Copies of this chain bind each other. A is one copy, B any other.
């Protein structure tokens, strides 16, 4: 993660004003905050945990640069004590979290920070910023992979992702959720994700003719010849592919595939398949792109169109049908006492929590959200991952997380695979948690 992305000033102003006031008044006891999602957005039956790795990197490198400290010390709202605190910033707290790639539902914690109140408060904004977006994209990408099982699926979304970091995080979240790779070179290089890409329309336009462009490309990249067909006329371009294939074969170059990027993709794929097959190019694959998402994929797949893979761009990296989540990072306990707010429509469950998941017939059967000390049947989903600022295990690779997510999708109840809204998965709030909420309300009422 870049220096600026782990800056303590990458936060909302109110975190700083609150920290100063906590320090002024001695509110420096241990606090626990939990991150959770309040409600499923429209068109989602489940969510996928994602972004823990980036949260841990952020906490490990949390800092204030000299320039930032200088700026703070010249700002009329901040005291010398506060600037000293920021100069000595070090995250020495604990983190409990759900494993990345795990299916989850609203109300239960995804991540808990336990640290002195000022420190746990300060990191709120960036933790939400990291987790919100990656959960959003992972949950969208899971739907994309469910819509086109077994197909090659590539993230093409960098150009319309919301900034550079969104592009990179989306590439990782997509890969974890079953996409085959990304067009994003930097994400591929830094996170070890397979990288895909061949040519754009401009490449064809710059040449005197489509045939010349195809042949030039094949000679430059003989191991990866995938030719873009729709710059002028898709079917005429397919005929040109057939026409140049024999000469390329003599040169030892095999055409691997073609790409369609406009019009009725299923219809063009059928025509192009016929042209290629008639020309003896049965092994050449067809790849499609252009305004795709899980709904388009499902519609094309239902037609059994002869398409071998898809590039999914803008609608994936912006999660366009649900571009944000109703999520929060809330104080659950301070100085050993459970807390919750009771704002209209925004009341939360207090205290330190655990989520237990039970299974039946090899599928997820129901979750219970309860207090941390109330041991229940089933698998506990929240685990310690950082203690006193030290990671308890090395980072799992994106490939390892990808395997876990694939397993999660196999145990997800079948009705939740639907792209439409399914009956909700059973999530129970335990009596112990309800009792804790009553006690918290009596104290503050």
Interface set of A (CB-CB < 8 Å, partner B)? 2-5, 7, 9-18, 20-22, 24-25, 27, 31, 33, 68, 71, 76-77, 117, 121, 124-126, 128-129, 132-133, 136, 156, 158-169, 183-186, 188-189, 195-207, 209, 216-217, 219-221, 223-224, 230-234, 261-263, 314-315, 318-320, 323-325, 327, 330-331, 334, 339-346, 444-445
Contacts and interface: CB of A to CB of B under 8 A. Distances in A.
A160 B324 contact: yes
A230 B342 CA distance: 8
Give the copy number.
2
A346 B234 CA distance: 13
Given A12-B156, A162-B166, A339-B205, A198 B17 contact: yes
Which are the 4 A-B pairs with shortest beta-carbon distances? A13-B197, A163-B165, A14-B197, A162-B162
A444 B189 contact: no
B263 A125 contact: no
Contact of A330 (B156, B201, B325, B444): B201
B186 A18 contact: no
A366 to B, nearest CB: 30
Contacts of A230: 343-344
Contact of A161 (B16, B162, B233): B162
Contacts of A4: 2, 164, 186
A220 B168 CA distance: 40
Nearest to A183: B12
Contact of A17 (B2, B15, B197): B197
Contact of A314 (B24, B126, B158, B324): B324
A9 B186 contact: yes
Given A2-B2, A220-B17, A132 B117 contact: no
A101 B190 CA distance: 35
Contacts of A445: 232
B324 A203 contact: no
